Each structure stands twice: as C-alpha cells, then as structure tokens.
C-alpha cells in the first residue's frame, strides 16, 4: 500500500518570517513606548511583566505569549495588529489601467487602497454615468466619507440633504447613513475615501 508524501514546510522560510515578526514587534514596542514617554519600568508596571522580559522583547530576543502581547498593546493603547505589523518599506503602485474593476448598477468602481489597521480606510475611484444614480450605500456607525470630483459633475444625497459638485470640488460627510451619487449631464469620475471606526 503506497502512502502519499505530505509536502514539508520550508523551515528556512518559516524562520525568516518569525525573525521578521520579532524585529517588527521589537521596533514597534520601543517606538510606541518612547512616543508615550514611558520607561521600561513604566511599561513593566503597566503590564505586570518584568523589565527584563520587556527589554528582551525590544531587542527581538523574546517570544512573548499572547497574554503578554495583549497587556503590552493595552498599556500602549494600540491594537495587537499595530504591535506586530511590519512597516511599509517599499511604495505600493496601483496601475492606471482600471484592471481590477467592479460594476455596480452601471457605476464602475475600483478600490485603490484598503487599510485594516486601527484607523481603517478605503480609497476608491469611481465612474458614475450621466444622469444615473449609484446604489445606496452606508459604511457603519461613525464612518466618514470624503469625495473629490476628478472630472464632470455629480449630486451627492443623504439623510435629507443633497449637494451638487463639479470638477475640483470636495465633500466630507457622515457615511453611516445611506447615500447616493448621481452623475451630472456628462457623468463624473470621483475619488472617494471612506474612514471607518475601530468597531
């Protein structure tokens, strides 16, 4: 009877990933601690951890437990993700060819950038046809939307108000209520940014 060989993990690659995570954690803890004017002793008192352990964390030598990481993140008032995230070292380029496109009720939308860090945001470019409304949308409690008209004109309506915008105009409004964009006589191209809450 033959048995199927399971693929073995690349130990070198796994080790490199662990080292990168330790390095990111070390740099983030030290940077956040110093930004808050805290000494290692202050952080030790706030987390119930030893000063020696925290020193090892900041030098990338320790493997702290989830409990320790949680207490550190609470003491520094950040999420666990912010504590372990690696900095963006290289620029991220989005091609201008409208390749990654979603069509929703004839409105063409592509997401340019999305961030799931503590202050989450989403940046999109949209093309709204002439005299055509977009789907009604809302983005949750506390969310704020920013719109900038790249070309054409559009009417934005939500919660009992409406605003007409032309090329070069910008708008900021609460996105927790349903809102709709209606293209003007020649349609519109928009850049929108939605800033979400931590919830």
Radius of gyration of the chain (CA): 24
What is the CATH T-level fold of the domain 102-195, as seen in this structure? Jelly Rolls (2.60.120)
Query: Which tokens go with 154?
Result: 């559009």
pLDDT band, residue 85 (cuts 50/70/90): confident
Distance set, CA 89 to CA 6, 21, 161, 182, 192 (Å): 35, 14, 42, 39, 25
The strand pairing partners of 148, in sequence order, are 170, 191
Angle at which helices 51-58 and 66-75 cross, to 10°: 90
Which pTM was predicted?
0.56
CATH of domain 14-84: 1.10.260.40
Mean local confidence (pLDDT), 128-137: 93
The segment(s) of the chain belonging to CATH 1.10.260.40 are 14-84
Cα–Cα distance, 20 to 86 (Å, whole number): 8
The segment(s) of the chain belonging to CATH 2.60.120.10 are 102-195
More confident residue, 189 or 6: 189
């Amino acid at each position: 009877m033959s048995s199927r060989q399971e693929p073995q993990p690349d130990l070198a690659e796994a080790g490199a990933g662990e080292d990168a995570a330790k390095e990111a954690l070390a740099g983030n803890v030290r940077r956040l601690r110093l930004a808050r004017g805290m000494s290692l002793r202050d952080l030790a008192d706030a987390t119930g951890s030893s000063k020696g352990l925290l020193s090892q964390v900041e030098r990338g030598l320790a493997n702290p437990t989830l409990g320790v990481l949680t207490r550190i993140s609470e003491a520094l008032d950040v999420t666990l993700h912010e504590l372990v995230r690696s900095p963006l070292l290289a620029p991220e380029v989005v091609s201008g060819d409208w390749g990654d496109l979603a069509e929703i009720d004839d409105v063409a939308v592509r997401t340019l950038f999305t961030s799931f860090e503590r202050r989450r945001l989403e940046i999109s470019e949209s093309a709204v046809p002439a005299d055509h409304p977009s789907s009604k949308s809302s983005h949750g409690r506390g969310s704020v939307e920013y719109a900038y008209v790249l070309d054409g004109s559009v009417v934005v309506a939500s919660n009992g108000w409406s605003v007409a915008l032309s090329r070069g105009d910008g708008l900021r409004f609460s996105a927790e209520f349903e809102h709709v964009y209606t293209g003007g006589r020649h349609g519109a191209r928009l850049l929108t940014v939605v800033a979400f809450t931590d919830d």
